[in-house]
């Protein structure tokens, strides 16, 4: 099933955000399901972070926020959601939200009274963010996902999802999407809820627990890319595909090395990274990101971000990531976001993540927009992520 993705350009001085990372409720078991209404700390693409471990992100200019459409209920109530590989829950704002929860008034809200297939659950859930919590209740209803290239799609999938009743973070007010559809592993699901992907496979609506992303970062492009549920679209890439094993099946976590053409080597002994469609930039430990930005001529702005003179883009070095024995290269055109006043923004940002999850790199849309990725939770052990250059990029070259 092919789902078109839309891309939003926040523009100059627009507030945008990276993922929030909090200390886990149980230090040795990050992402384990919570019980009852006990909050659990998980990653999320939309939360402000007020200190060195939760860094606010005022982006100078960046082509970010990819989202698509789903329907919930009968008849379907439409929502824009981020398809997020860094979390495992589906949630949208609720018609029953608190009247002081500003994001509710600026986004589509789910109305259980308008759905003939609604099934109440009522279990409380909470997700803790750097500046507050997302609180709500669990409910059950039918999920609809349309295929934009053929008649039909996913209909009648009975899923458990969250109705957000209280969203204290102001960032949700300005977001161009309504909610989140998580595509991570079940262990990350808050409240022990079955993730949407698992539900679709269990109910026979998807043959395989496989999905793929093509993110279009061309600012002149008419579309933002495509998510394919149940497989991949070979028209998006040219083989061969590189199979990258997942080291810890919670986030889509992999092992990598990093090298810059200047001779700088990072992650000398190898390091952990996650492939995360819910994060816009590439983040890593602040000391290593500082060294990387110095190597490409960047200078610090704030909150782990770096600027660089746009005129230097043609001469900037390639930054390469070694995954499963294959080098994946990013040129300056890939990792630099153009801005105003002759200044551009580096796509590499410092973000120190505490143990037990960290230290950890996040390969966000700067990386995933350069390479097509196929996420496979099938029979392989460990499950792989498959990477390839997008067909459009090869043709352009």
Known catalytic residues? 84, 276
Distance of CA 246 to the CA centre of its chain: 17
Those residues whose C-beta lies under 8 Å from the C-beta of residue 315, and which sit 6 or more positions away, are none
| 307 φ, ψ (degrees, to nearest 5) | -110, 160
Q: Beta partners for 181?
A: 83, 90
Residue with tokens 């008649």: 151
| 203 φ, ψ (degrees, to nearest 5) | -90, 10
Mode of pairing for the β-strands spanning 372-376 and 384-388: antiparallel
């Amino acid at each position: 099933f092919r789902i078109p993705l839309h891309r939003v350009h926040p523009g100059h001085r627009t507030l945008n955000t990276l993922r929030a990372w909090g200390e886990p409720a149980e230090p040795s078991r990050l992402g384990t399901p919570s019980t009852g209404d006990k909050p659990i700390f998980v990653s999320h693409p939309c939360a402000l972070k007020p200190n060195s471990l939760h860094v606010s992100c005022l982006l100078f200019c960046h082509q970010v926020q990819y989202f698509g459409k789903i329907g919930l209920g009968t008849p379907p109530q439409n929502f824009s959601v981020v398809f997020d590989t860094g979390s495992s829950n589906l949630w949208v704002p609720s018609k029953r939200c608190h009247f002081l929860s500003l994001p509710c008034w600026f986004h589509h809200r789910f109305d259980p009274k308008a759905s003939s297939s609604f099934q109440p659950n009522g279990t409380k859930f909470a997700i803790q963010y750097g500046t507050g919590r997302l609180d709500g209740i669990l409910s059950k209803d039918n999920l609809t996902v349309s295929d934009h290239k053929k008649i039909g799609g996913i209909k009648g999938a009975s899923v458990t999802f969250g109705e957000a009743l209280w969203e204290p973070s102001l960032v949700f007010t300005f977001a161009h999407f309504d909610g989140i559809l998580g595509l991570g592993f079940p262990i990350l699901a808050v409240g022990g809820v079955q993730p949407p992907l698992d539900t679709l496979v269990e109910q026979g609506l998807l043959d395989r627990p496989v999905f793929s992303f093509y993110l279009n970062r061309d600012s002149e492009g008419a579309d933002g890319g495509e998510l394919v549920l149940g497989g991949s679209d070979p028209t998006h890439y040219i083989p061969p595909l590189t199979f990258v094993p997942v080291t810890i099946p919670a986030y889509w976590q992999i092992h990598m090395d990093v090298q810059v053409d200047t001779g700088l080597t990072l992650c000398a002994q190898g390091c952990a990274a996650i492939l995360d469609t819910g994060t816009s930039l590439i983040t890593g430990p602040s000391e290593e990101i500082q060294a990387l930005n110095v190597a490409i001529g960047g200078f610090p702005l704030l909150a782990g971000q770096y600027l660089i003179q746009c005129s230097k883009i043609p001469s900037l070095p390639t930054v390469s990531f070694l995954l499963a024995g294959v080098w994946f290269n990013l040129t300056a055109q890939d990792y630099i976001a153009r801005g105003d006043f002759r200044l551009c923004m580096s796509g590499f940002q410092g973000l120190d993540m505490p143990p037990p999850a960290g230290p950890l790199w996040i390969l966000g849309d700067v990386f995933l927009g350069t390479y097509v990725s196929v996420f496979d939770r099938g029979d392989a052990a460990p499950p792989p992520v498959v990477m390839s250059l997008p067909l459009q990029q090869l043709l352009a070259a």
